[in-house]
Amino acid sequence: MKTVIYYFTGTGNTLAIARDIATELGETELIFMPKLMNQPEVVTDADVVGIAFPVYFLNMPGLVMEFVQKLKIIGSPFLFGIVTCGERPGHALFSLKSLLEEKGTTLSAGFVFVMPENHIGPVNLMGDAEHRQEKYRDAKMRIPEIAAAIRKQNISVPEGSNSVFLHCGGFITRTLMTSIYQTSRRLHATDKCNRCGICGRICPTNNITVTNNAVVWGKNCTQCYACIHWCPQEAIEIGGRTAGKLRYHHPAVNLKDMILR
């Protein structure tokens, strides 16, 4: 039986979970979505297909929505979703279900893993080291159960909620962070930057240009925060809100796992 998991990750939480599930399932191919985004269509004929991603603004990241729209599914595979989130999964898996139904198929099951938050700003949402370790342990404990459900192809209602309240809350939060605060326009490199180019190589939307003189962000930021958290010099900031704040990535994921080019 052919199994594939397409995943998107910014700071490694989703990759770590996808890897653990793939290991438990055995003979599972992991494919990083951003590496396929330049293709007009992504075709899969796998018997079991997973779509794994972090929750952004209580919903799917735009990049993942675009990927699912490109996906051409051959046959009738068992389709499952995996989402990672700081505390609340929102309606992300229900959005995935709707997108798949528009393509003439549906989501067979969807699972949530609560992981350390990677949002960085005035309020520390990541928690201390002990709190992060607790989340890692809890997530690890769910892996065998969820892998067994996937292996048996158990159909179930996606985890999370499809409430109107969450749709509205996610929309308001996204609007505040993108249209009003304009996070992507506040991204900048400080004088600690040595122009190593890692931020440009790690950006999933090719939104960062690094030259000898400057680091420039374009208009296609997906707010994954990979550039901030993976910068070796901690030289990337969002306005003044991130100065001195803890950077984060999953301890089981390294820079080599994340580099796109």
Cα–Cα distance for residue pair 8/203, rounded to 1 Å: 12
User: Among 94, 110, 206, 199, which Cα is nearest to 150's?
Assistant: 110
SS3 67: helix
Q: Which residues pair with 30 in a beta bridge?
A: 5
Q: Are 158 and 109 in contact (CB under 8 A)?
A: yes
The model's pLDDT over 126-139, given as tens digits with 9 standing for 90+, comes to 777 888 999 999 99
Question: Residue 132 is part of which domain span?
Answer: 3-167
The model's pLDDT over 209-234, given as tens digits with 9 standing for 90+, comes to 999 889 999 989 988 999 999 999 99
184 and 159 within one domain? no
Q: Among the three residues 167, 201, 222, which one is the final residue of a domain in this structure? A: 167
Which residues lie closer than 8 Å to 102 by C-beta, 6 or more apart?
none
- Alpha carbons within 13 angstroms on the beta-carbon side of residue 251 total 7
The model's pLDDT over 2-13, given as tens digits with 9 standing for 90+, comes to 999 999 999 999
DSSP state of 55: -
Q: Among the three residues 167, 189, 220, which one is the final residue of a domain in this structure? A: 167
Q: Tell me, what's the pLDDT at 5?
A: 98
Structural domain count, the chain:
2
Place of tokens 């996906």: 71
Q: Please indicate, yes or no, if residue 188 is contained in any of the structural domains.
A: yes
Model pTM? 0.92
The 3 state secondary structure assigned to 144-173 is HHHHHHHHCCCCCCCCCCCCHHHHHHHHHH
Specify the CATH number for the domain of residue 185: 3.30.70.20
Give me the residues of the chain with pLDDT under 50, please: none
Q: Please indicate, yes or no, if residue 174 is contained in any of the structural domains.
A: no
